[in-house]
Structure 1
């Protein structure tokens, strides 16, 4: 599927140097499974993982801010080389500000992808606010862009394709795989 992006969206996406992701409902499908032995299970999409790796390889930092605390998230972030992982953050706004100040970025250089009300303040503070396709309707109404895919089903890969297209890098990345 080839997406046709609006010019104004591509303009915003061309400036992004940092993508901040929520976890439940974005990197996972939002379902949390609890086992009898206190274990917690989530699923993650491999396409999202490759999208994250491609962004990192091409100068876009990926960070995680989530309100929940989970060893699974720590493990997945480590597998993907995501160094900026902030869990158990009830005040996501303070963490957001900490990250962009630490990195010396302006809000226009930041994208945030979320799915529900706690993500809305970060989406509105960012240069590019993104909601997953199956996100809460009110959040979708206030997003700059809604991904074609659902959370945990390739939505972060959709974002990677958007950002890398806007920054003129996706065709070369794809061409490498044809060789």
Structure 2
């Protein structure tokens, strides 16, 4: 029964993602928190602040503004050993190779963990990053993720990405790749 419920949830989510992505034009970013089916354990102001963080990142990406993109990440960013300086190089290379970079984010769960100065958010996200190649002129996928849990921390009044939840294995399982950008 649990497996059947999970299968129905997965099919429903997949349908929602496909429907969501079908409405996307070329290089148009979308950030969505579905009204039904999402688990939101924070107040509306926090949801809006998280969405604003990702919208700021999208505007910076569209402008190829490396410093503003990097500003979305916490100075303590760490994901599978990748640090903020590593992200700087990755984004610079992406800006050099691609035009019209955009991403989609479907947030299906936002939960607060910790309290006080140690408060953090776990944001479950499905999405992808794509762009127009300067080499071929074609739109190409750069990255995609399914139910990745972004870990955000509040720094100087702004939510910043600190990495993703979960242990960082020394070696990733065959067929998987880290998703450091979002």
TM-score band, normalised by shorter chain:
under 0.3
More strand, by proportion: 2
**Structure possessing the higher relative contact order (Cα contacts under 8 Å, 6 or more residues apart):** 1
Higher Rg: 2
More helix, by proportion: 1
TM value normalised by structure 1: 0.27
TM value normalised by structure 2: 0.27
